[in-house]
Amino acid sequence: MNPLQRAAFRRKMIYLGVILGLFTVSMFWRGMIPIPLSGARAAEPSSVQRAADRLASRTVLSRATALELREVEQGEQDIGSSTRQLLSLAGRGFYVAYLWHSAIDKQKRNDFHKMDQLIRRVTQLQPHFITPWIFQSWNIAYNVSVEMQGSGDMYYYIARGIDLLAEGERRQGRIDPETGQRIGSPDMRYQIAFYYQNKFGVSDNVEVLRCLFQLSCIPPDDRNAEPGGLVRADGSVDLAKFQRFCEKYPHLVRRLRGEAFSKGGDPLTDRRISEALKCPLPEDVVQFLKDNKDVPSRYKTATELNEPDRQFPVLPPAFDKGRDEPNPSDATDGEDKKFYSAFTVARAWFTYSTVPLPPPWRDENGKVIPAVTPYPSSNPLPGEYDPIRYRIPRQPMLILFRQGTPRAQSFQAEMEQKEGWFDDKGWAIDDQADDSQKWFPDARTPVVVGAGRPWSLLEWKSAATMWAVHGEENGLMADSLRDSYKEAARELPADPTPDQMQDYNFRLKLLKAGAETAYNQNRQVTNFPFFLSSAVAESRPETVDARKTLWLAEQARKLGNKPQAIRLYEKGLRQWRDVLAADPEFHRPERSDKIEEETYSYELSYLRLIVQDDQRVREKAARLTEQAKAAFAFAPFPLAQASPLGLSVVQDEAKWVVAENDPAFSPFVGPMDLANKRDTRNGGPWIRPEIKNLVRNNQGIQRANSQSSEPGPDGPPVPVPPPAGGPSPG
């Protein structure tokens, strides 16, 4: 061997020795090989043994064990996932990128079955990286579902997206030894709740999706549309069993029946009603149940619940958060149970998402300090969190994240109102049906379902309680600000030192000093005052009565029964005025005009009716038009010489002037005159002019000029005639 070969051989041996040395050190560092002398038991351990113990406590395995970050401690385990991770070895990143690209390609080609398989492989290879779970679940529930033509297929992919994210959520987090709860990912839980709330609350085909959602909660035995179930042997509907089904699931059958076709409403309303879900006869309802018998369900047999991870709707496990939320062991064979809507399921997931959050800051007396999002600290205050025990969500900001629970409950209460469930009177199934479409024509008394429970009243009371608790727990109530906090701000130095920032009591003063700023910011971004005042006001019986009367007026208008609609609007608007007069925080809540906009929308629907069909308005408008003719008789261009179109505009505008300004018609004419003279609303308008203009613009209404400086003899102002061919009222 020549000298060059010997030198090359020595270099190779040195490289090999370095590699083996580094590998051995890495094995010690990872904790795969015990540190020599560590863990030795001796009465008086030597300094070497203590050093070995300190080194052993800093190995990767020791730290992972202490922090419970090993794979076996991260949520539910999956053998298939672990096997794929092991087989992929160092090529996992490249393989995941390839699968991700392939899944997107399959989506573009509408090969959704293959896409679903590829997504499952991606999530198995990266089970603790939450982004693939969140993105692909959203992709399936939103992008893929809207590609489906049938509502059943759309519902399947929405359910598949939610199931995927729920599976990913079960794979996250360790068990907190102090609470016994799995920490998990608050972001994933929040997204699951949002999917339920959004897809079954405001999406397209929401009525059909809500019906399918409720079918998922009903035991298959209850919705059996085969002979022996709701159908007799000859194929006809068993009306006795069908009536019991209606009594057990009133919300479902009311949605399936839909609204009656309008007989003279506006074209937009006619079209919306005609396109809605319609099952006008019992046979149609039974056929709907039969067509959707294989909908994803909570039940594996006719009466037995499925395993929690195989149920849909998927529910969070039972957890202790001070509330009795839905969980997988709850039976849902009837609406007297805990829930039947996506909003209550969303509420459960929103509540579950707050379990890993750190507690709010509190002062030395245990009172909540209004504050912004907490940050991790080695010397934590009660609100500064230990990142091992708690999690902060990525988005939205923490104060918005926390209010998901009461917001979902408000949505639930609003849904009850929109679907006509107000008090305990129930729904008379054949109340507005003609003889050809009555479901129970031979019944001695009208069949009423859903009676005995004040639906929206109960839901609004729950919402009011939840909003109040939310405000107390997060420093959103007015009494959260205290004089001691202002004093703390005056005691703080302008430029605190690092040593002061490490002092617990000093940082507590710092939090108190920023309490007022945090309080104002949190109330502004959450719109908390409006939600609280609305929930409190809506939970009163008089508000529910007013809402019901106005809802009935709207139904009468859609059916073309204009005289009845006018009577109901007159009664309902006066009830509504009394509600507003008694509650200034509801009428004009902080930072919201919603109630005033709703009020004018109600009034505008009523004004349209009386302008078109009320003889009293016509007579007063005719007298007003005569006054206008007399007032302009000596003008250079007399009204009598105006074109017929211009005169028609004046006559139409006169009707609006009468309807809007005569207290015999509109209950909101004139300034507010309240019994409480200290009320700051006294002397002001019930509905501000800018709100009226906003509602008119939103509804596409253009009005001719109705302003005049001089009132007519009967009170209302005399309309100024517009030019011939001018704009007409909407």
- The string of pLDDT tens digits covering residues 2-37 is 888 888 888 999 999 999 989 888 887 877 777 776
Cis peptide before 541 (omega within 30 of 0): no
375 vs 507, residue with greater confidence: 507
Q: Of 564, 608, 728, nearest to 269 (Cα)?
A: 608
Provide the pLDDT for residue 276.
59
Render pLDDT for 241-275 as a digit per residue (tens, 0 to 9).
999 999 999 999 999 988 765 454 556 555 555 55
Provide the pLDDT for residue 576.
97
**461, 257 in Cβ contact below 8 A?**
no
Provide the pLDDT for residue 714.
45
- Dist CA 255 CA 420 (whole Å): 10
Provide the pLDDT for residue 727.
37
**386, 356 in Cβ contact below 8 A?**
no
Mean pLDDT of 314-334: 83
Q: What is the dihedral of CA 512, 514, 516, 519, to 10 degrees?
A: -100
Provide the pLDDT for residue 260.
60
Neighbours of 68 (CB within 10 A): 16
Q: Is residue 619 part of a domain?
A: yes
Lowest mean pLDDT among 260-269, 324-333, 369-378, 683-692: 260-269
Paired sense of beta strands 427-428 and 448-449, if any: antiparallel
Q: Is residue 42 part of a domain?
A: yes
Residues 315 and 189 in one domain: yes
- Dist CA 544 CA 525 (whole Å): 28
The CA-to-CA distance between both ends of the chain, in Å, stands at 105
Residues 62 and 179 in one domain: no
Mean pLDDT of 326-335: 85
Mean pLDDT of the chain: 83
Q: Is residue 196 part of a domain?
A: yes
Residue 711 has pLDDT above 60, yes or no: no
Residues 187 and 60 in one domain: no
Residues 199 and 63 in one domain: no
Provide the pLDDT for residue 375.
67
Provide the pLDDT for residue 251.
94
- Dist CA 29 CA 643 (whole Å): 97
Provide the pLDDT for residue 90.
64
- Dist CA 599 CA 581 (whole Å): 12
Cis peptide before 376 (omega within 30 of 0): no
3 state DSSP class of 182: strand
Of the candidates 48, 67, 86, which is a domain's last residue? Answer: 67
Q: pLDDT grade, residue 467 (50/70/90)?
A: very high
Provide the pLDDT for residue 559.
83
Burial class (CB in 10 A: 0-12, 13-18, 19+), 114: middle
Provide the pLDDT for residue 640.
45
Instruction: Give the helix ranges, DSSP H, for 614-714.
Output: 615-631, 644-661, 689-698
Mean pLDDT of 63-69: 65
Buried b (16+ CB within 10 A) or exposed e, 361-385: bbbeeeebbbbbebeeeeebbbbbb
Q: Is residue 678 part of a domain?
A: yes
Residue 347 has pLDDT above 90, yes or no: yes
Burial class (CB in 10 A: 0-12, 13-18, 19+), 728: middle
Q: Is residue 525 part of a domain?
A: no
Residue 189 has pLDDT above 80, yes or no: yes
DSSP label at 131? H
Residue 581 has pLDDT above 70, yes or no: yes
Render pLDDT for 623-634 as a digit per residue (tens, 0 to 9).
877 876 776 655
- Residue 679 has phi, psi (to 5 degrees) of -65, 125
- Residue 354 has phi, psi (to 5 degrees) of -85, -5
- Dist CA 427 CA 406 (whole Å): 27
Residue 636 has pLDDT above 60, yes or no: no
- Dist CA 728 CA 725 (whole Å): 8
Residue 516 has pLDDT above 60, yes or no: yes
Provide the pLDDT for residue 204.
72
3 state DSSP class of 398: helix
Residue 86 has pLDDT above 90, yes or no: no
Provide the pLDDT for residue 721.
41
Residue 236 has pLDDT above 80, yes or no: yes
Provide the pLDDT for residue 70.
60
660 vs 74, residue with greater confidence: 660
- Dist CA 148 CA 336 (whole Å): 34
Q: Of 194, 132, 203, nearest to 400 (Cα)?
A: 194
User: Rounded to a whole number, what is the largest CA-CA distance in the chain?
Assistant: 130
Q: Is residue 594 part of a domain?
A: yes
Neighbours of 612 (CB within 10 A): 12
Residue 564 has pLDDT above 60, yes or no: yes
480 vs 357, residue with greater confidence: 357
Of the candidates 363, 394, 425, which is a domain's last residue? Answer: 394
What total of structural domains would you count in the chain? 3
Q: Of 714, 519, 532, 504, nearest to 625 (Cα)?
A: 714
Provide the pLDDT for residue 675.
86
Mean pLDDT of 549-566: 91
Long-range contacts from 609-613, C-beta under 8 angstroms, 24+ separation: 609/557, 609/562, 609/565, 609/566, 609/569, 610/566, 610/659, 610/665, 611/652, 611/655, 611/656, 611/659, 611/729, 612/562, 613/562, 613/563, 613/566
Provide the pLDDT for residue 713.
40
Q: Is residue 27 part of a domain?
A: yes
Output the pTM of the full model.
Answer: 0.83
Q: Which residue has the tokens 């499925």?
A: 306
Residue 322 has pLDDT above 90, yes or no: no
82 vs 429, residue with greater confidence: 429
Q: Is residue 424 part of a domain?
A: no
Residues 63 and 175 in one domain: no
Lowest mean pLDDT among 126-140, 311-325, 435-449, 698-712: 698-712
**Both tokens assigned to 323:** 């509330």
Mean pLDDT of 524-552: 95
Question: In the chain, what percentage of residues exceed pLDDT 90?
Answer: 45
Residues 348 and 225 in one domain: yes
DSSP label at 91? G
Residue 39 has pLDDT above 70, yes or no: no
- Count CA within 13 A, CB hemisphere, residue 659: 24
573 vs 76, residue with greater confidence: 573
**Both tokens assigned to 138:** 């959203």
Domain coverage including residue 197: 171-372+389-394
